[in-house]
């Protein structure tokens, strides 16, 4: 059995680490596999980079001008298909293929022509909308019948709203594909049932994390030292914006007691311009051990995301023994249990503030309970579900 995964990254970011984990597990179990990726990755004989960032930036610009998000990048896709032809996989496992690095129709047409069994993990909603990756904030349900007059058009196209045409082209492109869908959350599975993918077989396979890395860590964190009574409120994101709750943290910084210190990880120089001076900013790190130390040093991990599938950061925090508070959005609540965190309604900052203070002052969730709950996130067990699915399909 030969498996080829396709994703924007390999070994970096949440989906990139998932690809790496699956690849290493396949290798350990004696299965031939490769991952084709386009943007960032770690050096590995199991991974092949098929295009370069400058090309992708040009295609992103082209997409904004023409309004054809996901249907450009012809040259890169030809290279991708050439690699697939050489590898001759039995199964192709798609992850994120909408980073201006792949022509949707070309790839799916090839998979259909070659009769290749295909698995597609829906890490977001782009697969069944005209443009958007999420639609919760704008409360749009047009994707269920056919996108048009996209309320988020300006995020994807400067001039033309082609959401109706792209929606139809996606729907036609998947017709006849030998496809099995995987969703990381039950929430996403519910959306699939209402989309044009409703007739395709699917199953829920939760994301996993490396529990040998994400575990309680006693030292090595720049926030480990604190004054008497100081509380650490931690937020972690890749690409901070209001969708991820950046504005919520800014609001909390003016509401929480003076002995509460907010630390945001994954920021950059641009984001720093918007942060009050009393929020500690830690720029993006690719060192997972450092990240585990940051999680371990916090009193509470706060995830005020407004749109999410099955957030890795929640799992990582719990595995390090830190309780989590999150908005009730997407699959984020699915990562928690009653013994390790709490959920408040989206945008209810009053309740979020109260929960943060309750957790930090009364300690209702023990480190041991958080770690025990996180045992269900063991990537070896979760990703083995993919290996079993590969076997089942063949």
Q: Residue 372: is its pLDDT beyond 80?
A: yes
Cα gap 337→181, rounded to integer Å = 26
Share of residues in the chain with pLDDT > 70 (%): 99
End-to-end Cα distance, the chain: 8
pTM: 0.92
Beta carbons of 164 and 148 less than 8 angstroms apart: yes
Kindly state the average pLDDT of the residues 346-366. Answer: 96
Q: What is the reported pLDDT for 222?
A: 67
Q: Residue 14: is its pLDDT beyond 90?
A: no
Q: What is the reported pLDDT for 238?
A: 85
Beta carbons of 141 and 129 less than 8 angstroms apart: no
Higher pLDDT, 287 or 328: 328
Structural class in CATH, domain 231-377? alpha beta
Q: What is the reported pLDDT for 22?
A: 95
Please indicate whether the domains covering 2-208+379-393 and 231-377 agree at the CATH topology level: yes
Query: Which tens digit of pLDDT belongs to each residue from 175-195?
Result: 999 999 999 999 999 999 999
- Diameter of the chain by CA atoms? 66
Q: Residue 226: is its pLDDT beyond 90?
A: no
Distance of CA 115 to the CA centre of its chain: 29
Sketch the domain layout of the chain as residue ranges: 2-208+379-393, 231-377
Q: What is the reported pLDDT for 227?
A: 72
Annotation: CATH topology of 2-208+379-393:
Rossmann fold (3.40.50)
Kindly state the average pLDDT of the residues 387-392. Answer: 95
- On the 0-12 / 13-18 / 19+ scale of CB atoms within 10 A, 280 is middle
Kindly state the average pLDDT of the residues 342-371. Answer: 97
Q: Helices marked H in the chain — which ranges?
A: 13-28, 53-66, 74-87, 104-113, 163-174, 186-193, 246-253, 269-272, 288-297, 312-319, 349-362, 367-374, 379-393
The pLDDT-based confidence of 83 (bands split at 50, 70, 90) is very high
Average pLDDT, the chain: 94
Token duo for residue 136: 């919760």
Cα gap 195→209, rounded to integer Å = 29
Cα gap 98→171, rounded to integer Å = 15
Distance of CA 72 to the CA centre of its chain: 23
Q: What is the reported pLDDT for 327?
A: 97
Q: What is the reported pLDDT for 149?
A: 93
Q: What is the reported pLDDT for 224?
A: 65
Q: Residue 128: is its pLDDT beyond 90?
A: yes
Query: Which tens digit of pLDDT belongs to each residue from 274-325?
Result: 999 889 999 977 788 899 999 999 999 999 999 999 999 999 999 999 999 9
Q: Residue 220: is its pLDDT beyond 70?
A: no
């Amino acid at each position: 059995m030969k498996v080829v995964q396709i994703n924007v990254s390999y070994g970096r970011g949440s989906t990139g680490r998932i690809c790496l984990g699956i690849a290493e597990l396949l290798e350990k179990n004696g299965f031939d596999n490769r991952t084709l990726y386009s943007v960032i990755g770690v050096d590995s004989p199991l991974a092949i980079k098929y295009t370069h960032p400058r090309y992708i930036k040009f295609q992103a610009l082209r997409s904004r001008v023409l309004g054809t998000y996901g249907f450009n990048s012809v040259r890169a896709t030809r290279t991708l298909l050439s690699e697939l032809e050489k590898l001759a996989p039995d199964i192709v496992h798609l992850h994120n293929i909408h980073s201006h690095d792949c022509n949707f129709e070309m790839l799916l047409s090839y998979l259909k022509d070659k009769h290749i069994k295909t698995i597609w993990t829906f890490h977001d909603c782009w697969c069944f909308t005209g443009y958007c990756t999420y639609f919760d904030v704008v409360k749009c349900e047009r994707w269920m019948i056919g996108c048009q007059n996209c309320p988020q058009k300006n995020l994807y196209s400067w001039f033309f709203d082609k959401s109706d045409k792209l929606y139809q082209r996606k729907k036609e492109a998947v017709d006849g594909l030998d496809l099995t869908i995987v969703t990381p959350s039950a929430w996403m599975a519910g959306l699939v049932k209402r989309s044009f993918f409703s007739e395709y077989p699917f199953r829920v396979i939760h994301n996993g994390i490396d529990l040998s890395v994400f575990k309680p860590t006693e030292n090595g964190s720049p926030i480990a030292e604190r004054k008497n009574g100081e509380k650490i409120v931690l937020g972690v994101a890749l690409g901070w914006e209001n969708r991820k709750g950046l504005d919520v943290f800014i609001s909390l910084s003016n509401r929480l007691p003076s002995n509460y210190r907010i630390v945001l990880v994954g920021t950059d120089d641009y984001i720093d311009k918007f942060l009050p001076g009393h929020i500690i900013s830690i720029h993006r790190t690719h060192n997972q051990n450092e990240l585990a130390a940051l999680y371990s040093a916090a009193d509470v991990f706060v995830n005020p995301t407004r749109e999410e599938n099955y957030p890795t950061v929640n799992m990582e925090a719990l595995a390090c023994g830190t309780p989590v508070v999150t908005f009730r959005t997407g699959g984020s609540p699915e990562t928690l249990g009653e013994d390790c965190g709490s959920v408040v309604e989206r945008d209810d900052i009053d309740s979020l503030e109260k929960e943060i203070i309750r957790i930090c002052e009364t300690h209702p969730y023990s480190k041991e309970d958080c770690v025990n709950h996180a045992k269900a996130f063991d990537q070896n067990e979760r990703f083995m579900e993919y290996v079993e699915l590969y076997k089942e399909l063949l």
